[in-house]
């Protein structure tokens, strides 16, 4: 009888030629042949999602856990380098397939996210937070709250689920820092750097109205100074100047925010990550004799 054709030979040839990659046993990554930017997505988000999906492909029938589950849920704030991790629904042992981490615990609850089986958001946070640095952990909690994937009660439930996990002791104060008003991880990092410098914002997402009393802006972080002026801080995203229309809207908005009664400072996401927001804001506030506001402000009329 003629020998059956081996359909794996073209795949093997491409892998050997480094056109394709084999990131884990039984998984082939063809992204090199697609070209850079072919997916039309942020490359860091693609890298995170790739790691999250890799674990599920390497272990058929598994469930995404921890940070990988959060990435698939669309929660923002995860590290760029994500370790693929999954668990089997029953927690039964299985031979590992590096670099995928196989959790040896059963999954009592799971949800379908775009065709992928994932631990729910509260359970995924309970797994992820004790294993992450503070900035990533709080950013993920902020994002879950901001997106509406988790309520305050759900966050409290996640903290209870994490209570006996290794590494949870250092995170006890982190859960209380979560704030769903942060609209990006960079805003979370900026807020944390200000807290670390002893100058928590008097307001987050402060509404700003013009002389016509119409609200025209929301400012990321704000402080009321003793002389009655307001220090306004904006954290710019990567695409803030992506189009001419965006540049025009941004310039017009900034001009309206700059008044005799306001001081506007803008920072980048890198500034927020490096802690520059907190150090510079703290220096300005100390020089102005600032004290925390007795009640958070909800609106500023310019």
- Please answer whether residues 119 and 71 qualify as being in contact, where contact means their C-beta atoms are separated by less than 8 angstroms: no
- Please answer whether residues 268 and 234 qualify as being in contact, where contact means their C-beta atoms are separated by less than 8 angstroms: no
Sign of the CA dihedral with 21 first, then 23, 27, and 32 last = negative
Question: What span, in angstroms and rounded, lies between the C-alpha atoms of 53 and 22?
Answer: 14
- Please answer whether residues 97 and 26 qualify as being in contact, where contact means their C-beta atoms are separated by less than 8 angstroms: yes
- Please answer whether residues 87 and 65 qualify as being in contact, where contact means their C-beta atoms are separated by less than 8 angstroms: yes
Q: What pLDDT, on a 0 to 100 scale, did the predictor assign at position 88?
A: 97
Question: What span, in angstroms and rounded, lies between the C-alpha atoms of 53 and 24?
Answer: 11
Asked if residue 93 has pLDDT above 60, the reply is yes
Cis amide prior to 297 (ω within 30 degrees): no
Once rounded to an integer, what is the mean pLDDT over residues 66-77? 98
Q: What pLDDT, on a 0 to 100 scale, did the predictor assign at position 3?
A: 44
Q: Which residue has the tokens 């294993």?
A: 131
Whole-number percent of the chain with pLDDT over 70: 82
- Please answer whether residues 276 and 268 qualify as being in contact, where contact means their C-beta atoms are separated by less than 8 angstroms: no
* H or E stretch at 15: helix 9-16
Once rounded to an integer, what is the mean pLDDT over residues 28-49? 67
Q: How many CB atoms lie within 10 A of CB 247?
A: 12
Q: What pLDDT, on a 0 to 100 scale, did the predictor assign at position 31?
A: 63
Asked if residue 84 has pLDDT above 60, the reply is yes
Question: What span, in angstroms and rounded, lies between the C-alpha atoms of 114 and 56?
Answer: 13
Q: Comparing 26-30, 106-110, 154-158, 244-248, which segment has the lowest mean pLDDT? A: 244-248
């Amino acid at each position: 009888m003629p020998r059956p054709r081996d359909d794996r030979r073209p795949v093997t040839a491409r892998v050997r030629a480094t056109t394709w990659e084999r990131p884990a046993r039984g998984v082939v990554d063809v992204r090199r042949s697609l070209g850079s930017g072919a997916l039309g997505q942020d490359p860091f988000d693609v890298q995170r999602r790739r790691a999250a999906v890799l674990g599920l492909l390497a272990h058929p029938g598994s469930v995404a856990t921890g940070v990988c589950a959060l990435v698939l849920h669309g929660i923002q704030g995860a590290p760029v380098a994500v370790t693929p991790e999954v668990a089997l629904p029953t927690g039964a042992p299985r031979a590992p397939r590096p670099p995928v981490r196989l959790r040896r615990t059963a999954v009592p609850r799971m949800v379908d996210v775009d065709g992928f089986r994932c631990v729910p958001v509260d359970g995924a946070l309970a797994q992820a937070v004790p294993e992450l640095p503070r900035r990533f952990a709080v950013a993920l909690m902020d994002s879950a709250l901001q997106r509406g994937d988790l309520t305050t009660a759900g966050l409290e439930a996640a903290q209870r689920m994490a209570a006996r996990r290794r590494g949870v002791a250092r995170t006890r104060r982190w859960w209380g820092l979560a704030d769903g008003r942060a609209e990006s991880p960079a805003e979370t990092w900026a807020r944390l750097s200000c807290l670390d410098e002893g100058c928590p914002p008097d307001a987050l997402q402060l509404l700003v109205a013009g002389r016509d009393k119409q609200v025209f802006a929301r400012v990321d972080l704000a402080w009321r100074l003793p002389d009655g002026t307001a220090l306004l801080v904006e954290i710019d995203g990567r695409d803030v100047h992506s189009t001419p229309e965006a540049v025009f809207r941004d310039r017009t908005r900034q001009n309206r925010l700059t008044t005799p009664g306001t001081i506007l400072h803008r920072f980048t996401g890198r500034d927020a990550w490096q802690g520059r927001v907190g150090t510079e804001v703290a220096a300005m506030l100390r020089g102005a004799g600032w004290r925390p506001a007795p009640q958070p402000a909800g609106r500023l009329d310019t």
